[in-house]
Amino acid sequence: MKKALKITGIVIAALLILVIAALKFAPGIVRGYIVNNSEDLIGRKVAIESISLDPFSFTLSIDSLAVFEKDGETPFVSFEKFRVNVDPFDMFTGTASVSEIYLKGLYARVLQHEDRFNFTDIIEFLAKGDSTALDSAAIAAVTDSAAAKADTASADSAGMVNAAEIAEGLPFNISVKNIVFEKGNIIYQDTKVGSKIHLQDFSLNIPAVYLSNKQTDVGLSLKFADGGDLNVKVEANAATNDFKLDVNLKDFALACGKPYLNDFINYKDFTGTLSVAVNVAGNLNDILSSDIKGTVSLDGVVLTETSGRTLGVNHVGVGIGKANINENNYVVDSVVVDGAFAHIDLYKNGKTNIDVLLKKGSADEPDSAQLAADQQLVLGDAPDSTAAPEVKEEPAPAEKSKPLKAKINKLLLQNTKVSATDHSITKPFNYTVSGITVLGSNINYDTPCSINVKAAFPDGGSLNVKYKGALSNIGTMDAYVSVKNLALKHFSNYSHHYTGYPLSAGTLAFASENKIKNFELDSKNTIDIYNIDVADKDPNSNPEFMVPMKVGLYILKDKDDKIQFDIPVHGNLKDPQFSVGKIIWKTVMNLLIKVALSPLKIVGNLASTGAGAIGLDLGKNDEIIIDATAKTFTSEQYAKASKMTEALSKDKNLKLVFTQLYNVRKTTEAYRTVKLKTEYYKKTHGKENLTELDERAIAEMSDSDEGFVAYVKENGDKLDVKALRKELSTLAEGRNQDLLKVLTQQSSVTKKNIKVITAPANQLSSHRGKAMYKVSVDVQ
């Protein structure tokens, strides 16, 4: 008996030794077979350094595996180390257990040329082998088996099979843990356009995969070779198909998209970075119903045109409060654009630099030799692309989409600058608008919203635009435009081109109130020009309008050197012949021609003003008459003050002091009347915010107006004199700051040689003349 047991033990030990030996040496045999027969197996050359299987820990390890391209030398896919560990004893508990999957140094280079890839030949090789190995009966058996399994697996209404239910239908449990990929490199190249995306330090970490009602966490991170980091976190539940996705992309270099831009625009260079921090939550059964929120930002975006000039923006930030494609609902918390810059060039052929940019051209072409070699790896002996295309069934009609719900809670554009150059006229015109600010809130698609725009012009000019309307109905809106203190000398080249006379001086104020309903425009415009003057007509010019500018301007000016007129504009914006600019310009030209042909007007003007009407009439050289009840200045007052600063260019030691003077008692009475008129106007016209046109109407209101007189009797005593005087003091200080801001933008003027103040209280009380700025000269 003992001898039998001993023999049995020896036999079992021998068998175990044989099994262990087989497990030890079998991987080497497998390695040799794969390496020697790889071209017969997959149509590619394969190199493997070693394969080992630990019979005690049940760990399979593969060192340095590489699958080569069709040339047999260039790596296609490779890795440094692969390890998988299984626990076969868990099968006795009904569990197929994988305790570790480890992959280090994964390398993959994917090349694409149109619809073919550098692995398409492998798929075609395997498909060809399968089709010859399987007979029709076997194919039918496989098909029937697959259909039977598909019938038993549960699917939701969208056709999504539930992984947890599939796992429950298996005769054993599945457990996969510790999935780790590290230090991977993945390269994608489109050989048709020459693009390349290189993912460096690719890593993946999955602690465990659960095919049950338990959360599976996936972490992925990588770097882009051209710049940028990507981190992705996924939480998924196989039982409910619920998922959460967090994507964090930081400083992704937009330059990697340059090859694709070549198909659309003609440019020299493109730089900038993209950052994204987005969270997506939803269910795999209905991905389009997922809720998306987060932030998207662009920084340092610069597009360099072929001319060398640039367009771009320092920062664009978008905060996404909610985005749901299925509900067609989009809520944007904020859109912030900071430091945008652009230029517009108009050429004689009617084209602009935007037309040149959008014209398809050749920018930086990729290396043609390398591109051809890469294309050959992809195409090889690819099937004839001229073969008849596959006939596709007509898609079913799409369901009617839900109405769009879009809202921007905050819109801010700041520190923006735009320059324009017009090469279509005799002498090119160049102008820069800076300090552009756009502010809006609660901007939505269906209901009216308000947007305000401000901008600065050279030499202290300003622009203010107020818009109210609904984005869903652009044919109906209200828009108010106000331009103040616009220096006309910058537009001299236009005047020279259209009339032959260059502009030498002048300031302009413009106010326009526009109401549009169903694209029908009703516009009220007023133009106020001060001290406009032109040089002698250029004898070599060929102007579009034969206008006697000097005579016309001389007649249009009143005794204070001002020109003021109104231009009503009406028309349909959809009419291709309609142009607001042409209407205004034609009106001005017709007015100049009309007055220039009136000899009686000339005689009357000469008799009333004399030769002193020609040129700039400042009255007394040390005074600028103002309205002490007004918040700001007229174009005339701005121009007179700016004219006085010319003395500073004569001597750097000079200093100008502008001292504001007004009689407190008389001004308080006048301001009381202005306040009452303003309140009366607001009440009778139902307005809360007033425009320049409203203020002009208030100024022209008669003191004896019956309605106003009755209003004064009822409300006149409600205004407190002390409060009025305090408001006047605030207005005076505001005028000082406004005047100082404009004057310091003139040439030769600094904060050291200019000073704007209000006279002391005792001087204000004793002042008997008109409200004014008294200008004195001092030496620094």
Same domain, 451 and 554: yes
How many angstroms separate the CA atoms of 97 and 172, rounded?
Answer: 10
Query: In this predicted model, which residue has the larger pLDDT, 117 or 57?
Result: 117
Same domain, 475 and 594: yes
Same domain, 603 and 462: yes
Query: Domain ends where: 582, 613, 644?
Result: 613
- Residue 663: its pLDDT value, please? 93
How many angstroms separate the CA atoms of 105 and 79, rounded?
Answer: 5
Is residue 560, in this structure, part of any structural domain at all?
A: yes
Is residue 3, in this structure, part of any structural domain at all?
A: no
Highest mean pLDDT among 361-365, 575-579, 655-659: 655-659
Smallest Cα–Cα separation from 57: which of 86, 20, 94, 16? 86
- The answer to whether 238 touches 215, Cβ cutoff 8 Å, is no
SS3 336: strand
Mean of pLDDT values over 630-651? 79
- Which residue type does 205 have? N
Query: In this predicted model, which residue has the larger pLDDT, 634 or 770?
Result: 770
- The answer to whether 239 touches 212, Cβ cutoff 8 Å, is yes
How many angstroms separate the CA atoms of 742 and 744, rounded?
Answer: 6
- Residue 734: its pLDDT value, please? 93
Same domain, 775 and 699: yes
How many angstroms separate the CA atoms of 724 and 669, rounded?
Answer: 9
Mean of pLDDT values over 84-93? 73
Query: What distance, in Å, lies between the first and last C-alpha atoms of the chain?
Result: 128
Query: In this predicted model, which residue has the larger pLDDT, 276 or 655?
Result: 276
Same domain, 594 and 661: no
Is residue 381, in this structure, part of any structural domain at all?
A: no
- Residue 334: its pLDDT value, please? 93
Would the pLDDT of 367 be above 60?
no
Domain that holds residue 560: 446-613
Residue 698 — very low, low, confident or very high, per pLDDT cuts 50/70/90? Answer: confident
Same domain, 482 and 521: yes
The fraction of the chain above a pLDDT of 70, given in percent, is 77
- The answer to whether 83 touches 178, Cβ cutoff 8 Å, is no
Same domain, 605 and 742: no
Q: Which residues pair with 221 in a beta bridge?
A: 203, 231
Mean of pLDDT values over 631-660? 80
Would the pLDDT of 364 be above 80?
no
Same domain, 627 and 569: no
- CA-to-CA dists, residue 774 to 637, 736, 738, angstroms: 13, 12, 16
Is residue 750, in this structure, part of any structural domain at all?
A: yes
Would the pLDDT of 26 be above 60?
yes
What CATH number corresponds to the domain at position 637?
Answer: 3.30.1330
Same domain, 453 and 583: yes
Which two tokens mark 521? 């425009």
Which two tokens mark 408? 């921007």
Q: Which residues pair with 107 in a beta bridge?
A: 78, 185
Smallest Cα–Cα separation from 290: which of 327, 255, 315, 265? 327
Is residue 532, in this structure, part of any structural domain at all?
A: yes
**What total number of domains does the chain contain?**
2
How many angstroms separate the CA atoms of 659 and 623, rounded?
Answer: 10
How many angstroms separate the CA atoms of 780 and 765, rounded?
Answer: 30
Mean pLDDT (the chain, rounded): 80
Least confident of 76-80, 211-215, 503-507, 727-731: 211-215
- Which residue type does 494 have? Y
Smallest Cα–Cα separation from 743: which of 353, 403, 460, 538? 460
CB atoms within 10 A of CB 762: 8
SS3 275: strand
- Residue 538: its pLDDT value, please? 87
- Residue 590: its pLDDT value, please? 67
Residue 142 — very low, low, confident or very high, per pLDDT cuts 50/70/90? Answer: very low
Task: Give how far the C-alpha of residue 163 lies from the chain's centroid of Cα atoms, to the nearest Å.
Answer: 42
Helical pair 664-685 and 721-743, crossing angle rounded to 10 deg: 90
Smallest Cα–Cα separation from 589: which of 554, 557, 531, 545? 545
- Residue 726: its pLDDT value, please? 92
- Residue 618: its pLDDT value, please? 33
Residue 179 exposure: Cα atoms within 13 Å on the Cβ side: 15
Is residue 371, in this structure, part of any structural domain at all?
A: no
Is residue 691, in this structure, part of any structural domain at all?
A: yes
Task: Give how far the C-alpha of residue 47 lies from the chain's centroid of Cα atoms, to the nearest Å.
Answer: 50
Helical pair 580-596 and 549-556, crossing angle rounded to 10 deg: 90
Query: In this predicted model, which residue has the larger pLDDT, 707 or 172?
Result: 707
pTM of the model: 0.71
Same domain, 573 and 721: no
- CA-to-CA dists, residue 371 to 194, 360, 367, angstroms: 7, 21, 6
Mean of pLDDT values over 164-192? 77
- Which residue type does 21 have? A
Is residue 82, in this structure, part of any structural domain at all?
A: no
Cα torsion for 64, 68, 74, 80, to the nearest 10°?
-10
- CA-to-CA dists, residue 387 to 376, 390, 415, angstroms: 20, 9, 56
- Residue 313: its pLDDT value, please? 96
Smallest Cα–Cα separation from 500: which of 544, 552, 557? 544
- The answer to whether 757 touches 657, Cβ cutoff 8 Å, is yes
- The answer to whether 369 touches 444, Cβ cutoff 8 Å, is no
Residue 457 — very low, low, confident or very high, per pLDDT cuts 50/70/90? Answer: very high
Give the single-character DSSP code of 626: -
Smallest Cα–Cα separation from 530: which of 656, 631, 646, 643? 643
Query: Domain ends where: 592, 613, 634?
Result: 613
Q: How would you class 378 by CB atoms within 10 Å of its CB: exposed for 0-12, middle for 13-18, buried for 19 or more?
A: buried
- CA-to-CA dists, residue 716 to 117, 710, 720, 721, 777, angstroms: 86, 10, 9, 11, 43
Smallest Cα–Cα separation from 414: which of 486, 337, 342? 337
Would the pLDDT of 489 be above 70?
yes
Are β-strands 754-758 and 654-661 bridged in parallel, bridged antiparallel, or unpaired?
parallel
- The answer to whether 90 touches 97, Cβ cutoff 8 Å, is yes
- Residue 456: its pLDDT value, please? 95
Same domain, 591 and 644: no
Question: How would you label 177-199 residue by residue, b for 16+ Cβ within 10 Å and e otherwise?
Answer: eebebbbbbbeebbbebbbbebb
Same domain, 601 and 489: yes
How many angstroms separate the CA atoms of 171 and 96, rounded?
Answer: 10
Would the pLDDT of 414 be above 90?
yes
Would the pLDDT of 269 be above 60?
yes
Would the pLDDT of 387 be above 60?
no
How many angstroms separate the CA atoms of 325 and 316, rounded?
Answer: 23
Give the single-character DSSP code of 92: G
Query: Domain ends where: 587, 613, 639?
Result: 613
Would the pLDDT of 496 be above 70?
yes
Sequence-distant (≥ 6) Cβ neighbours of residue 41 within 8 angstroms: 34
